[in-house]
Amino acid sequence: MFPKPIETRGSGAVLRYQLILPIALIIWLLPLIAIFLTSIRPGSDINAGNVFGWPSDFLLLENYKAVFTESKAWLYLKNSFRITIPTVIISVALSCLAGYALSVYRFRAALPLFFIFVAGNFVPFQILMVPVRDFSVQTGLYDTITGLVLFHAAFQTGFCTLFMRNFIKALPHELIESARIEGVGEFKIFFYLVLPLVRPAIAALSVLIFTFIWNDFFWATVLIQGDHGLPITAGVRSLNGQFVSQWHLVSAASLLAAVPPVLMFFIMQKHFIAGLTLGASKG
Amino acid sequence: MNTAVQSGDAQQSWYQRNRFAITPWLFLAPAIFFFTLYVIAPIFQSIWISFFEWDGLGEKKWVGMGNYVELMDDDRFYTSLKNNIWWLVLYMLAVPVGLAIALFLNQTVTGIRIYKSLFFFPFVISQVVVGLIFTWFYNPDFGIVGIVWEFFGAKPPAILADENLVTFGIIFAGLWPQIAYCMILYLTGLNNVSPDQIEAARLDNAKGFGMLWHVILPQLRPATFIAVVVTVIGALRSFDMIAIMTGGGPYGSSNVLAYFMFETSLSEYGFRMGYGSAIATVLFLIMLVYISYFLWRMYQDEKGA
Amino acid sequence: MFKPFVRTAAAVLAAAVLSAPASARDLVINYDDLNAAPKEAFETAVEAFKAANPDINVIVNNTDREAHKTAIRNFLSADAPDVTSWYPGNRMAPFVDAGQFEDISDLWESEGWADAMASTMPSMTRDGKQWGVPYTYYQWGIYYRSDIFAENNITPPTTWDELLAASAALKEAGVTPFTIGTKFLWTAAGVFDYLNLRTNGFDVHNDLTAGKIKYTDPRIVQVFENWKQLVEPGYFIENHATMSWQDALAPFINGEAAMYVMGNFAVAPMRDGGLTDDQIDYIPFPTINPDVARAEEAPTDAFFIPANAKNKEDAREFLKFVVQPDVQTEWNKTLGQLPINKNATPGDDKFIQKGFETVSTASALAQFYDRDAPAEMAKAGMEGFQEFMIKPERMMSILERLDKIQERVYK
């Protein structure tokens, strides 16, 4: 283990370390703590310059209620789910199929195809913006959640395929070979043998994609116009236009936007980190 | 068993005989279809559109290299390019800082797991939210910066209104989640560092920075590689923060190519899809350098595997 | 595990694809103001319209103004509402030229609007046809803290020299003369427009926004020289580039700043902020060159029918409704602005009365720099104004850059 475990330096060192940890954490999360404090104080505190001090009044419920009643935060949150969940399902499904094909079968196009998926995943969004928007306008998918979902799913397929392909490649190939020898059909092998094995990968991908899509702002801005389809990220921005100088409400709305991915991360932490670092541990 | 396979052979359908050639394509078809439609084809369409003058409504008008010629003479382009370079350079700080925090947290005291996840928090939060938080932080009148400065009796700077500070202010805000990302990559990497080698090195009296440099870092190379790649891509994709914090202002001084492109082609003050596509193409070419390097590295690994 | 997976996926997709079918009498209206007073005025009018037309199902999409400005471009072609709010003059030109607004000249003709709304008819006209109906406009000018002025024995300025003297006196008293928030740029254009209108007059404003005069023209340079007299002594509040126009209200309300070059819509939030009518007052922007006839900024807001609207018949009903004198009277009373229809009565609020006086006696009405100039030029120009307000020493290089952009935009 590196650095040397702190225990080896005696109990004083451990104590000191455990003292520094929370202090470091508070400094690190200072922005979040500040925004949380802001979200529960009355607006007058901020105008009076009381930003970091003790709130003059605790308005946790009032402020959050105000966000819901005075704005369309609820609709935005709902839209975020309506965008995020189908995207996760489609992109993970597509990439399970593609990743399987690219890892199990040996054919000449496999590697170039794989590289195209990887490369596409890295391109700047702006190079896709004009044609994707134009295509959506022409097909009537513009300004619909369906249109946004289809694009997100297609784009995330790149990353998901990279991930799935590497994951399946690491599975013991003999399993598949022996199933083939037993005469099991290719689709059956995929459904009954491989899919159960890649469950951890599916979980990891799902949390990751959930976070990516939930936090998307650019594509929502490009492909959605009205409140009926705006996700919470874009919604928070328009709330910022509505609650001008009402930082307590903007803060409350921002925190609301952050809650689902944070919860997701906490519940699925193991999968999340596995997902992020799969590439790293494989190199 | 053998006989079963052989008797099957005789009645094998065309699909059965060619199944190893066909099945992968069946599996791949949906992914390829969507990916081509929404990712691959648009890249070429964008490059094509960049040779036209087009407002997104009427007819496209061929201007050849016209958009690029104009770009070469556009101050806003150079401002954006310069800022992009600052982003690329300074965003890289996320890698060593992330490593430092990972080293700090790589202990086994009780409760460390929860600390690790809390340190990772900023990455999970939308950049829109991060941008809003820092906009407020930087407000000289009632933000944290204002309060801290005034505490020391100084006049707070208006970070987001100062052409010389604004980009650094936004990058600093952007570093916060990016450091968290790099940290988690390194934490996992540190988990996989071989204890034997560390022990061996300790016997050789290696410690501290020397140990880190000569023994640990080489083993962390995969993590470093990914950290650098995601940081470069993050730097070139910087859009959300700029849109939220400044909209490219004051007077365009915090613009980057990604936002400049959006502003030119799809905002209140411009619908020049052709010109925007030319900017996007330049951004794409810059990114292509990194993509090629990444693919080349992957190809080396694949050959080795 | 895969089967339920697929089933959920299919169900979710289906749910996403199927949306409620629109009924024949749906009337979709896109509106662009979430601020309290305008929102209320609009919603009240919509309620009245619903009451008068119970068989029309009115669907309202109300968005933030800045967002609406970007959105309209897209929804007109992709998913057109039946009625949308927008602005006349150069702002409506691209959509008219692209055939995205419905020609409603027949209504102007048959309903006698040409007479009732003669003052704004030119700005609603393009290619000899009318494309929408205005429902409100408002005056611009200087809103000032009359209490602070009185405390420091300053009389409201009517000339440029008096304005400079008043500013100096305020500065002396520790009050910043002007508040402004230039984050979204257009506020700086308001100041520029007035300096230009007072220095050179309406024709120069028009020629400049039409691209007929260069920015390095001596007349425009003179405008900036005048502006410098306010910028260099620090008569504008600091950090204005980080603030929106609403943010900039705070120093005005706190008494840290005493004047605000703004439109009348700023009065409502000033009152909401706790200022009473004894504390705020309005003056037209002071005279700079006495030989120039007084022109005013009076931006007009209007409703249009998109060419792709599905329910044009009811949309026309709504437009007719909006023009009615009593509707405009009521609407503008809530809004705190001036009705367009000459048969409507302006409210008895003191700012409305003063604004009505200012606007109705003006020699000409300008829309606004960013409504009169083409969008791209407006953006570059306003960035230039903002830069000038922070770095006045760059004046000439800014103007030369604007010339370069002008040359390309108007080619």
C341: tokens are: 């229809």
Split at pLDDT 50, 70, 90, the class of C228 is very high
B contacts of A283 (beta carbons < 8 Å): 221-222, 225, 301
In a domain, C11, yes or no: no
Whether B103 is in a domain gets the answer yes
> Are residue C78 and residue C150 in the same domain, yes or no?
no
Q: Is B107 on the interface with A (CB under 8 A)?
A: yes
Residues B94 and B224 in one domain: yes
The predicted pLDDT at position C9 comes to 44
Whether residues A137 and C77 touch (CB distance < 8 A) is answered with yes
Burial class (CB in 10 A: 0-12, 13-18, 19+), A266: middle
Q: Residue B85 domain-assigned? A: yes
Residue C12 has pLDDT above 80, yes or no: no
Q: Is the minimum CB–CB distance between B66 and chain C shorter than 8 Å?
A: no
**Cβ contact B107–A17 (<8 Å):** yes
- Cα torsion A41, B178, A120, B28 to 10°: value is -80
Residues B20, B79, single domain; the answer is: no
**Chain A within 8 Å of B294 (Cβ-Cβ)?**
yes
Distance from CA of C114 to the nearest CA of B (A): 31
**pLDDT single digits (tens) C292-351:** 999 999 888 999 999 999 999 999 999 999 999 999 999 998 887 889 888 888 888 889
B109 exposure class (CB count in 10 Å sphere: 0-12, 13-18, 19+): middle
Q: Which of A164-168, A248-252, B138-142, C99-103 has the lowest mean pLDDT?
A: B138-142
Torsion from C-alpha of B276, B279, B280, B284, nearest 10 degrees: 170
> Which residues does chain C have within 8 Å of residue A137's beta carbon, measured at their own beta carbons?
74, 77-78
Residues C110 and C187 placed together within one structural domain of the fold:
no
Check which CATH number belongs to the domain holding B98 and give it. Answer: 1.10.3720.10
| C357: Cβ contacts below 8 Å, ≥ 6 apart | none
The pLDDT value recorded for residue B10 is 53
Task: Establish if C324 belongs to a structural domain.
Answer: yes
The mean pLDDT of A44-73, rounded to a whole number, is 78
State pLDDT tens for residues B229-264: 889 989 998 899 999 999 887 998 999 999 999 998
Identify whether residues B120 and B234 lie together within a single domain.
yes
**Burial class of C21 by CB neighbour count within 10 A (0 to 12, 13 to 18, 19+):** exposed
Give the SS3 label for residue C359: helix
Q: Mind telling me how many Å the CA of A88 is from chain B's nearest CA?
A: 14
CA dist., res. B29 & res. C233, Å (int): 69
Whether residue B96 is found in the same domain as residue B143? yes
User: Number of structural domains, chain B?
Assistant: 2
Q: pLDDT per residue over C21-79, tens digit each?
A: 445 589 999 998 877 788 899 999 999 999 999 999 999 988 877 678 777 877 887 77
List the structure tokens of C277.
């009518």
C77 and chain B: CB distance < 8 Å anywhere?
A: yes
Q: What is the pLDDT of residues B36-49, one digit of tens each?
A: 999 999 999 999 99
> What is the percentage of chain C residues whose pLDDT exceeds 90?
56
pLDDT digits (tens, 9 = 90+) for A151-171: 999 999 999 998 899 889 888
In C79-138, the residues whose Cβ lies within 8 Å of chain B are 94, 98, 100
Residue with tokens 């897209």: C74
Check CB contact under 8 Å for C375 and B57: no
Provide Rg for chain C, Cα atoms: 23
Indicate if the pLDDT at residue C7 is higher than 80. no
DSSP helix, strand, coil percent of chain C (3-state; round to 5): 50, 15, 30
Q: Show residues of chain C in contact with A199, CB under 8 Å.
A: 1
User: What's the pLDDT score for residue A152?
Assistant: 97
Residues C87 and C221 grouped into a single domain: no
Residue B97 lies in a domain: yes
* Whether residue C108 is found in the same domain as residue C236: no
User: Domain count of chain C?
Assistant: 2
* Residue B290 reports pLDDT greater than 60: yes
Instruction: Tell me: do B167 and B285 sit in the same domain.
Output: yes
The answer to whether residue C13 is domain-embedded is: no
> Residue B234: what residue type?
G
Residue C150 has pLDDT above 90, yes or no: yes
pLDDT at position C221 is 96
Whether B60 is covered by a domain: the verdict is no
* List of chains touching C (3+ CB pairs within 8 A): A, B
Chain C residues close to B266, C-beta within 8 Å: 70, 73
Given a contact cutoff of 8 angstroms between Cβ atoms, the answer to whether C157 and C166 are in contact is yes
- On the 0-12 / 13-18 / 19+ scale of CB atoms within 10 A, A19 is exposed
pLDDT interval class at C118 (50, 70, 90): confident
Q: C239–B247: do the CB atoms touch at under 8 Å? A: no
**B 175-234 → C contacts, CB under 8 A:** none
DSSP bridge partners of C101 = C306
Min Cα distance B282 → chain C (Å) is 22
Residues 6 or more apart whose CB falls under 8 angstroms from that of C135 comprise C301, C302, C303, C322, C323, C328, C331, C339, C340
Residue C393: DSSP 8-state: G
Instruction: Determine phi and psi for A190, rounding to 5 degrees.
Output: -60, -50
- Is B225 in the A-facing interface, judged by CB distances under 8 Å? yes
- The pLDDT-based confidence of A213 (bands split at 50, 70, 90) is very high
Residues of A in contact with C9 (CB under 8 A): 86, 89-90, 93
Tell me the shortest Cα–Cα distance from A133 to chain C, in angstroms. 10
Task: Give yes or no: residues B44 and B153 share one domain.
Answer: no
Return d(Cα A88, Cα B62) in angstroms, integer: 40
C182 at the B interface (CB within 8 A)? yes
Q: In angstroms, what separates the C-alpha of A155 from chain C's closest C-alpha?
A: 17
Spatial separation of the C-alpha atoms in residues C388 and A276, rounded to whole Å: 47
The CA angle B1-B6-B11, to the nearest 5 degrees, is 125
Nearest CA to A161 out of A196, A110, A235 is that of A110
Residue A245's pLDDT band (cuts 50, 70, 90): low
Residues of B in contact with A190 (CB under 8 A): 27
Chain A residues closer than 8 Å to B265 by CB: 129-130
Residues C44 and C155 in one domain: no
Q: Which of C100, C182, C379 sits opposite B270 (nearest CB)?
A: C379
Q: Which pLDDT band, with edges at 50, 70 and 90, does C2 fall under? A: very low
- From the list A52, A118, A264, the residue facing B144 with the nearest CB is A52
Report the predicted TM-score, pTM, of the whole model to 2 decimal places: 0.85
Same domain, residue pair C123 and C148: no
Q: Please, which pLDDT band fits residue B11 given cuts at 50, 70 and 90? A: low
Statement: residue B15 has pLDDT above 80: no
Tally of CB atoms within 10 A around A58: 12
Nearest to A238 among C17, C63, C244 (CB): C63
Number of neighbours of residue B285 by Cβ within 10 angstroms: 12
Regarding whether B247 and B98 lie in a shared domain, the answer is yes
Q: How confident is the model at residue B4 (pLDDT cuts 50, 70, 90)?
A: very low
Same domain, C248 and C396: yes
Nearest CA in chain B to A239: B132
Domain annotation covers residue C110: yes
d(CA B53, CA C246): 37
Cβ separation of C78 and A85 shorter than 8 Å?
A: no
Distance CA B52, CA B54 (A): 6
> Is it the case that residue B88 has pLDDT exceeding 60?
yes
Chain C positions in Cβ-Cβ contact with residue B252 (cut-off 8 Å): 383
pLDDT at B266: 83
The answer to whether C242 faces chain A, any CB pair under 8 Å, is no
Interface test with C, best of A82, A225, A238 (most C CBs within 10 A): A225
My answer on whether C124 and C249 are in the same domain is no
State chain A's mean pLDDT as an integer: 87
Count of residues in chain C? 411
Q: Which residues of C298-324 are buried (b: 16+ CB within 10 A; e: fewer)?
A: bbbbbbbbbbbbebbebbbbbbbbbbb
Q: What is the pLDDT of residue A278?
A: 57
Q: Are residues B132 and B98 in the same domain?
A: yes
Question: Chain A contact for B188, CB < 8 A?
Answer: yes
Q: Among B147-156, B231-240, B285-294, C163-172, which is the least confidently predicted range?
A: B147-156
**Do residues B20 and B136 both lie within one domain?**
no
Same domain, B36 and B161: no
CB contact under 8 A, A225 and C6: no
Residues 32..51 of B with a Cβ closer than 8 Å to A: which?
32, 34-35, 37-43, 45-47, 49
Q: Report yes or no: B108 and A16 within 8 Å, Cβ to Cβ.
A: no
The residue ranking higher by pLDDT, B68 or A34, is: B68
B71 shares a domain with B13: no
CB contact under 8 A, B160 and C387: no
B121 close to C (CB below 8 A) = no
Dihedral through CA C87, CA C92, CA C95, CA C96, nearest 10? 130
DSSP string over chain B: -HHHHHHHHHH--HHHHHHHHHHHHHHHHHHHHHHIIIIIHHHHHHHHHTTEE--SSS--EE-TTHHHHHHHT-HHHHHHHHHHHHHHHHHTTHHHHHHHHHHHH----TTHHHHHHHHHHHHHS-HHHHHHHHHHHH-TTTSHHHHHHHHTTPPPP-GGG-TTTHHHHHHHHHHHHHHHHHHHHHHHHHHTS-HHHHHHHHHTT--HHHHIIIIIHHHTHHHHHHHHHHHHHHHHH--HHHHHHTTT-STTTT--HHHHHHHHHHBTTB--HHHHHHHHHHHHHHHHHHHHHHHHHHHHHHHH-
The count of other CB atoms within 10 Å of the CB of residue A115 is 18
Neighbours of chain B (3+ CB pairs under 8 A): A, C
Can you tell me the ipTM of this complex? Answer: 0.89
Contacts with A146 from chain C: Cβ below 8 Å: 13, 16-17
In a domain, B58, yes or no: no
Strand C129-130 relative to strand C125-126, pairing: antiparallel
The range of the structural domain enclosing residue C387 comes to: 140-297+374-409
User: Alpha-carbon distance A72 to A51, whole Å?
Assistant: 26
Whether C133 has a pLDDT exceeding 70, the answer reads yes
Q: Judge contact between B160 and C240, C-beta under 8 A.
A: no
Q: Is A257 exposed, middle or buried (0-12, 13-18, 19+ CB in 10 A)?
A: buried
CA distance B42 to B281: 11
- Find the CB nearest B58 among C73, C98, C184: C98
Task: Using the structure block, give the residue that is written with the tokens 């052409």.
Answer: B163
Q: Over chain C, what is the mean pLDDT?
A: 88
Q: Is B133 close to A24, i.e. CB distance below 8 A?
A: no
The CATH fold of domain A71-282: MetI-like fold (1.10.3720)
User: In this model, does residue A266 exceed pLDDT 80?
Assistant: yes
| Domain enclosing residue B38, as ranges | 2-49
Q: Do B295 and A7 touch (CB under 8 A)?
A: no
Residues B75 and B18 in one domain: no
Q: What is the CATH number of the domain that holds C337?
A: 3.40.190.10
Cα–Cα distance, A132 to A154 (Å, whole number):
11
Choice among A43-47, A190-194, C253-257 with the minimum mean pLDDT:
A43-47
Q: Does C13 touch chain A (CB under 8 A)?
A: yes
Domain match, C318 and C346 both: yes
Closest partner CB to A82 (pick from C16, C78, C244): C16
